Structure 1
Amino acid sequence: MSQTHHHATFDRLPIVDVSGLYSDDLSERIASARELDLAAREAGFFYVTGHRVARELRAALVEEARRFFASPQEWKMRYYIGRSRAHRGYVPEGEEVFAGGARDRKEAFDTGRDLPLDDPDVACSTPMLGPNVWPEQPGFREAVSRYYEEAFALGCVMFRGVALALGLPEFYFDAYLTKPPSQLRLVHYPYDASADDRLGIGAHTDYECFTILLPTAPGLEVMNGAGQWIDAPPLEDAFVVNIGDMLETWTGGTYVATTHRVRKVAQERYSFPLFFACDYRTQVAPLPQFSTPEVVARYEPLTAGEHLFAQTAQTFEYLRRRVARGELTLPEGSRTPASFGREMRADQSAQ
């Protein structure tokens, strides 16, 4: 692969049935992996059906999120993310600042793998790893934890499909998925009568390997290969999946981290992205089959967790304040937010 892949001029997201990835028959797993590969190359954004995340788990997650976000603001602030030690907890409106200084009307609750304080990586203060913050809301911890485990298991299955598609051993990526800082966000967009279908979160890419999104209402838009914005409304029993920065790097731009944005719409809606990452200290660089001189020059090796932490620390106000006070230092060579998918965006802006 001598140059960054260009997405197709799609007008809707492809649908990938991943049920074959669960098969005992290798040929069925390979066939499903090829469908996954085609969608990743041509769109970088697609619906996933045939997964095994039960409907009742998804419904329980949505219900617990509704209950939490409907609670008094003062109570929610008891769990403010700025008081956590592992970037977990409640994110009030205005806490996140995106590229260009954009803010959005939303609140969130951030979780991840719940690690104890005596875990070796937690004990040595590895960023983004540690215990969750759990609100005193009966049923919340159980519903969120069960959903996280099942959605994470789906991510592992999909990564095996990616490995098969790239001609690697099926379990190649498992070695990098032992304790990743994969975040599950519960996001609430309140009813906004003044929204008037305006732009919300600006165009960006996701930092991790890929994102597994459970949305409850429209609002997400995806850029196709012609630079056009395509609606990505919810599809029943399907997740929306998109390629992120790390998988773009591993594949040398064969899979591009797709640019997307969220429109401001009046209706109340919820969104549940699982940002599927690899282990913090994973060194990510183009795989040998993609490592032409041009690709190697374009994609410098990254430490996965450092990239995630740097992007996060430049987005959240409480972390930005710590950096400004000298309490935190960004990893050397940190990129500014929204720096991936860049060749594609540059080409499209010139069209």
Structure 2
Amino acid sequence: MQTGQRNFTALPVINISRLYSDSLAQRQTVADALGQAARDVGFFYIVGHGIDPKLVTGLREASRTLFAQQMEWKMRYYIGESWGHKGYVPEGEETYSKGRPDHKEAFDIGFEAPADHPLVLAGTPLIGNNKWPDLPGFKAAVAAYYAAVFALGRQLFRGFALSLGQPEDFFEAMVTCPPSKLRLIHYPVDTEAVDAPGIGAHTDYECFTLLLADQPGLEVMNDQGVWVDAPPYSEAGEEAFVINIGDMLEVMTAGAFPATSHRVRKVQHERYSFPLFFACDYHTRIRPLSQFARDAATTSYSELSIGDHMYSQAQQTYSYLKRKVEAGEIALPAGALKPNSFGHLKSQAAA
């Protein structure tokens, strides 16, 4: 990989254990590595994260039990009948590109907000309680994993702040009740699968994503338009997380941290994938940070509401929300961008 360019052929690996050090200098060293990977690739592995493997095992067991249920049972928790855009997502519900539905099913879990939370009382989209399925041990296992990986996301955000020359707590006040979603995704066995996308090329809407997957299939686009494999990776017996930059950090850095385009290739093996999309609070408004204000690229990044951006993208991706928009039941937020308005896919969105 050439420094300063995005013509990469593999994802870098960063040991973040020193991000928990009492030494600011050691934390800064890790932060600098995070910043370089974010600039040069937008995707990277992290090890030394400290997530208990038992939490991962519990999550996988809960997911297998959930997706093994009959479709009629799973549809009791259909996301289209939820308040806060959480629950079961059947195959074909989402379309990311060229009108082709995704070959997967999912269950979406979000940051818990009680019914009396001000954002819930105000009817804020994407915010609210989860629609927990009635399965023994499911809520305990999934909630424990969510809490641990969300805490890891907070630590990474502190590292990103340092990498951008900001105080470590720069983003803290922006993350109090965010629409940060954990997705339990199941790709069924497909014995006739060919080397083609299972999820269309896209960027993630949020600040960054923490992903754990058990099979190959993820592909990342470099600046030459070449798809680079990003298979599961382990080091010293520890499963690595894949981290990728999303739309919001691209805005805050005026493109210095690119929201790198990616997709999932169709594979013949059953696959489980667990991305946690780390976001700031719904009403957080973002713009390029001051150090990027003199950059010519800044002018192409308008101020955005994080929540409005996330909700508008969902409205253009999920079938049940598309139907509501078409029926006039809900409307796209003002200034909503087309899907794929960031990263390498900007030209596609503009077409």
TM-score (norm 1): 0.95
- In structure 1, list runs of 5 or more residues that go unmatched: none
Question: What residue in structure 2 maps to residue 235 of structure 1?
Answer: 233
Q: What is the RMSD of the two structures over their aligned residues, measured on CA atoms?
A: 1.5
- Helix, strand or coil at the partner of 2:258: coil
Find 1:324's aligned residue among 317, 326, 332. Answer: 326
User: Deviations along 1:203-257, whole A, 9 cap, x unmatched?
Assistant: 1111000010010100000012322111000012100010000000001111000
How many pairs were matched up?
342
Change (3 A) 1:293 1:29: closer
Question: What residue in structure 2 maps to residue 297 of structure 1?
Answer: 299
1:255 partnered with 2:253: no
1:155 partnered with 2:153: yes
Equivalent residue letter for 2:280: C
**Alpha-carbon separation, structure 1, partners of 2:289 and 2:199:** 32
Do the aligned partners of 1:197 and 1:266 also contact (CA within 8 Å) in 2?
no
Higher relative contact order (CA 8 A, sep 6+): 1
Find 2:124's aligned residue among 123, 126, 141. Answer: 126
Instruction: Report deviation, 1:15.
Output: 0.3
Change (3 A) 1:231 1:288: same
User: Deviations along 1:265-310, whole A, 9 cap, x unmatched?
Assistant: 1110000000111110111100000012623310000000000000
Dislocated runs of 4+, deviation >6 Å: none
Question: What residue in structure 1 maps to residue 272 of structure 2?
Answer: 270
Question: What residue in structure 2 maps to residue 167 of structure 1?
Answer: 165
Do the aligned partners of 2:210 and 2:278 also contact (CA within 8 Å) in 1?
yes
Does 276-285 or 286-295 show the bigger shift? 286-295
Equivalent residue letter for 1:326: G
Question: What residue in structure 1 maps to residue 75 of structure 2?
Answer: 77
Do the aligned partners of 2:113 and 2:177 also contact (CA within 8 Å) in 1?
no
Question: What residue in structure 1 maps to residue 135 of structure 2?
Answer: 137
Change (3 A) 1:293 1:19: closer
Does 221-230 or 20-29 show the bigger shift? 221-230
**Alpha-carbon separation, structure 2, partners of 1:20 and 1:6:** 24
Equivalent residue letter for 1:265: V
**Alpha-carbon separation, structure 2, partners of 1:185 and 1:288:** 33
Instruction: Report deviation, 1:72.
Output: 0.7
Find 1:211's aligned residue among 209, 212, 215. Answer: 209
**Alpha-carbon separation, structure 1, partners of 2:80 and 2:255:** 35
Question: What residue in structure 2 maps to residue 28 of structure 1?
Answer: 26
Do the aligned partners of 1:57 and 1:143 also contact (CA within 8 Å) in 2?
yes
Equivalent residue letter for 1:289: Q
Do the aligned partners of 1:280 and 1:306 also contact (CA within 8 Å) in 2?
yes
1:177 partnered with 2:209: no
- Helix, strand or coil at the partner of 1:203: strand
Do the aligned partners of 2:102 and 2:200 also contact (CA within 8 Å) in 1?
no
Question: What residue in structure 1 maps to residue 287 of structure 2?
Answer: 285
**Alpha-carbon separation, structure 2, partners of 1:232 and 1:216:** 12
Equivalent residue letter for 2:91: E
1:60 partnered with 2:58: yes
Equivalent residue letter for 2:99: G
Question: What residue in structure 2 maps to residue 307 of structure 1?
Answer: 309
**Alpha-carbon separation, structure 1, partners of 2:333 and 2:42:** 28
Do the aligned partners of 2:15 and 2:47 also contact (CA within 8 Å) in 1?
yes
User: Deviations along 1:62-114, whole A, 9 cap, x unmatched?
Assistant: 11000100111111111111110000100001111223212121000001111
Do the aligned partners of 2:93 and 2:102 also contact (CA within 8 Å) in 1?
no
Does 207-216 or 290-299 show the bigger shift? 290-299
**Alpha-carbon separation, structure 2, partners of 1:44 and 1:173:** 19
TM-score (norm 2): 0.95
Do the aligned partners of 2:95 and 2:200 also contact (CA within 8 Å) in 1?
no
Find 1:194's aligned residue among 192, 195, 205. Answer: 192
* Identity percentage of aligned residues: 54
**Alpha-carbon separation, structure 1, partners of 2:197 and 2:98:** 14
Equivalent residue letter for 1:126: T
